[in-house]
Chain A
Amino acid sequence: MMIFDELINIQVKEMAPSGIRKFFDIASSKKGVISLGVGEPDFITPYHIREAAMHAINTGKTFYTANKGLLELRQEICNYYLRRFNLSYNPNNECMITVGGSEAIDIVLRAILNEGDEVILPTPSYVAYAPIIQLSKGKVVEVTMTEENGFKLKKDQLKKAISDKTKAIVINFPSNPTGGIMEYDDYLEIADLIKENNILVISDEIYAELTYDKKHVSIANIEQLKENTIIINGFSKAYSMTGYRVGYILAEKPLIEMFNKIHQYTIMCASTPSQFAAIEAAKNGDKDIEEMYLSFKQRRNYIVKELNRIGLRTHLPEGAFYVFPSIKSTNMTSNEFCETLLDKENLALVPGSAFGADGEGYVRISYAYSLEEIKQAIERLERFLKSL
């Protein structure tokens, strides 16, 4: 028998399995489970986008594309960013297509990190960042974003986290899991600090289109920070295209060149039919975004009202499709809370602690579900809270 343990890379061995994975396994083994645990929209991809993928397949447009992706797609993405967020990038050398935002997170961090480099991570945060930073032998420096501050990144806390080893900061607004956003003035407050310390900003804007009642602002909209910023975005959430696996990076040319070096050897190019579908989405999908946005906003209003009614204090998040209520009043850890809830009521939520220590005391509830499903879940949650 081979002893595989000795053969595995130390960083991988030390990588903690996602806290979501554990719950997924328990929930999957049970019958009659209702889940408000998914991180993907519930719409079937708009038909004209599906049709574009089918057309590509039917007409044999299934060869490799350029490493950076189809030029037409990069052009449409750059048009889209200019049209919707007022940011200008050159499709030839400041934009590249990746296999989802996921690949983008991986290659960006690998391309910039040396052993011991520090990466500032405002938490609670999306689960992928810390493991990938550690895989690249970087060091995660957590900065707490508190509920009192609307889960925003604040200057004084950021300042304390910066050292001479700080290479980058990873931000994600609107945020998974908190739904928090940052506005122009919020970014302005931290702009000088980032500029003076020569920090790269990895800005995961995958939920940009789900910013409620306000316009999404990128940190790259702060003029002096545009060159510091590496924008990660993708088609998964804005157009309900999670299974297509198309994302992209917008950044300065020398950075894109380095990212593309890894990408060309590990990926070659993103799926070709998916890229054609993405062209259709970026070009003609603004109306789809509008419809989904409205539907999510209505469900957000609904679930926040209901959660408060049944006694879980919840603030109205300004983005994404998650609410992040505090469960501190139950005196349970978020893990205990979710385990007992799943056990007693067959309702699956994600414990806040899956998003870092700062998520302890909260649970993530996704409202990317039909009203009927949300109602059923609320009923179970209400019964559970009453039983405590």
Chain B
Amino acid sequence: MLKEMLSLLEKNARIEVTDLAALLNTDEKTINDQIKECEEKNIIAGYHTIVNWENANTEIVKAMIAVSSTPERDKGYDHIAEIIANYPEVNSLYLVSGRTEFILIINGSTMREIADFVAHRLAPIEGINTTETMFILKEYKIMGEIMDKENGKPERLLMTL
């Protein structure tokens, strides 16, 4: 049931506790306890809203940055990752396989702001060798949500056999 509850919350962070209880055939107390426990254990790491900024007529700039770095003795990549992750501009950070070590996604209000961040904050970090900044030109899908949704669902008949 925990997995089912988490999947429902992952799809809709605003789902109500009463609804979760009814859907999962249990009571509200059980759901509340489980959510609390998940929050405490950091199984639920946060609740966010997927904002389509373009539709809000608000300019925001996002970039994906590939970072190559050298691991530190004993600590591997974790120490560098911690330094990078602490910058509030960094929205997501991943250690990946492939040509570079890290992929990070950063948000800013202008291209200049992002360029400055890379030049003055990111690139100088000890252990970082190169960075490659890819500005995001258009967002098609974020966390499972298609950004440019067509109007509504296809229609079904009112009643069928």
Contacts and interface: CB of A to CB of B under 8 A. Distances in A.
Given A301-B22, A305-B22, A24 B158 contact: yes
Q: Which of B23, B157, B159 has the most CB of A within 10 A?
A: B159
Given A306-B22, A371-B19, A350 B156 contact: no
A341 interface: no
A127 B4 CA distance: 35
A39 B159 CA distance: 7
B157 A24 contact: yes
B110 to A, nearest CB: 36
A20 B156 contact: no
Q: Which of A27, A40, A127, A298 has the most CB of B within 10 A?
A: A298
B151 interface: no
Contact of A23 (B7, B25, B156, B159): B159
Nearest to A354: B161
A38 B24 contact: no
B76 interface: no
B58 interface: no
Nearest to A299: B23
A28 B159 CA distance: 9
A302 B159 CA distance: 21
A20 to B, nearest CB: 5
B150 to A, nearest CB: 11
Interface in A1-45: 18, 20, 23-24, 27-28, 33, 35, 37-40, 42, 44
A33 B23 CA distance: 25
B160 A301 contact: no
A126 to B, nearest CB: 7
Nearest to A40: B160
Given A298-B23, A301-B22, A301-B24, A44 B154 contact: yes
Given A298-B8, A301-B23, A126 B161 contact: yes
Contacts of B19: 302, 371
B158 A33 contact: yes
Interface string B124-141: 000000000000000000
Contacts of A127: 161
Contacts of A28: 158
Given A44-B153, A294-B4, A302 B22 contact: yes
A18 B161 contact: yes
Given A294-B4, A301-B23, A302-B19, A38 B153 contact: no
Interface residues of B, number: 16
Contacts of A40: 156, 160
A348 interface: yes
A33 B161 CA distance: 18
A128 interface: yes
A35 B22 contact: no
B159 A38 contact: yes
Contacts of B160: 20, 37-40
Contacts of B158: 24, 27-28, 33, 35, 37-38, 348
A302 B19 CA distance: 7
A298 B12 CA distance: 14
Nearest to B15: A371
Contacts of B156: 38, 40, 42
Contacts of A306: 22
Contacts of B8: 298
Contacts of A39: 160-161
Contact of B157 (A38, A44, A176, A301): A38
A302 B22 CA distance: 5
Given A294-B4, A298-B4, A27 B22 contact: no
Nearest to A24: B159
Interface in B102-161: 153-154, 156-161
B159 A27 contact: yes
A225 B4 CA distance: 38
A38 B159 CA distance: 4
13 contacts: A20-B161, A37-B158, A37-B160, A38-B158, A38-B160, A42-B153, A44-B154, A298-B4, A298-B24, A302-B19, A305-B25, A306-B22, A371-B19
Interface of B: 4, 7-8, 19, 22-25, 153-154, 156-161
3 closest A-B pairs (Cβ-Cβ)? A37-B159, A298-B23, A301-B25
